[in-house]
Amino acid sequence: METFLLLNRWLHITAGFIGFFVAPAALYVRKGGAAHRLWGRIFFWAMVVAGTTAIVSASLHGLTFLLLTGIFSLYLAWFGYRSVYHKRLSRGEVRPALVDWLGVGLGTAVFAGTLLYGLLQIKTNPVPVVFGIIGLMTTLRQARAFRQRGPWTAGQWLLNHMSGFVGSYIAAVSAFSATSLTFIPFPLNFLWPTLVMVPPLIWVQRRYKKQFAAGRHPEKVVEVRIQPELAGAVR
């Protein structure tokens, strides 16, 4: 067991380290270009490994909040990645796949649990309340979009893609800050990434929304290429 835990710990550290530096690279390069897709895929799989190993470690050590944080980061990474394949939903050509509904359902249950967990100990740890509210807003908004008949709002898949990946990065940085940056007082050590990164995200999304509202097609804003076999996963 000790060998397994040590391996799990080093996998988590390595994946987190890769994701920590790859995410800014994906944000810096031209959106939709080859470099962006490459760094984005590396970041996604790094978050999958980091989130999974965090869940394993937190489960074995009984660390409920870190367990929920790992699931939070993992879900948002999946949400951001999956959103790219919702491009055809914006055209009203297809309906959400079963995997989309399963993901939203699981995410809603986890984030509702996170919020409840936070409310039960809000006097000592308000952070789960913040993460739970953000998570529920994400999943409930997505479920409402999945139920919508007809095409999505132009560019909604792109805004979801941005929210998911940036949100996953925020969760990962928050966990790193809480466990490593001990000089930052609680709960600021958990919340500063949200306070720093969310305003720029909102600003960029609003800028894109203005372009979409002015009639500029989302595909003219960013280049998007989806592998045919994966694009067919949306039914």
pLDDT tens-digit readout, 42-63: 999 999 999 899 889 888 887 8
**Spatial contact of 168 and 54, defined as CB atoms under 8 Å apart:** no
- Burial pattern 139-166, b for ≥16 Cβ within 10 A else e, equals beebbebbeeeeebebbbbbbbbbbbbb
For residue 193, the model assigns a pLDDT of 92
Mean pLDDT check: name the lowest of 11-15, 48-52, 149-153, 165-169.
149-153
For residue 26, the model assigns a pLDDT of 84
| pLDDT confidence band for 234 (50 / 70 / 90) | very low
Percent of the chain past pLDDT 90, that is, above it, reads 23
Mean pLDDT of 18-33: 83
Q: Which two tokens stand for residue 126?
A: 């308000």
Residue 149 has pLDDT above 50, yes or no: yes
| pLDDT confidence band for 235 (50 / 70 / 90) | very low
The predicted model scores a pTM of 0.82
For residue 90, the model assigns a pLDDT of 66
What's the CA angle centered on 174, arms 168 and 180, to 5 degrees? 135
> Mind listing the pLDDT tens digit for each residue in 81-97?
888 888 777 666 667 88
Q: Which two tokens stand for residue 134?
A: 């953000």
Q: Which two tokens stand for residue 95?
A: 């309906």
For residue 225, the model assigns a pLDDT of 55
For residue 97, the model assigns a pLDDT of 84
Nearest Cα to Cα of residue 84 among 188, 230, 196, 200: 230
Residue 177 has pLDDT above 50, yes or no: yes
Task: Please spell the DSSP secondary structure of 114-182, one letter per residue.
Answer: HHHHHHHTTTT--HHHHHHHHHHHHHHHHHHHHH--SPPPTTHHHHHHHHHHHHHHHHHHHHHHHHH-T
| pLDDT confidence band for 136 (50 / 70 / 90) | very high
Gap between the Cα atoms of 168 and 54, Å rounded: 13
Looking at per-residue pLDDT, the higher value among 136 and 67 belongs to 136
For residue 203, the model assigns a pLDDT of 92
For residue 72, the model assigns a pLDDT of 84
For residue 219, the model assigns a pLDDT of 66
Task: Please spell the DSSP secondary structure of 94-115, one letter per residue.
Answer: ----HHHHHHHHHHHHHHHHHH
> Mind listing the pLDDT tens digit for each residue in 191-230?
899 999 999 999 988 988 888 877 777 666 665 555 444 4
Gap between the Cα atoms of 100 and 122, Å rounded: 32
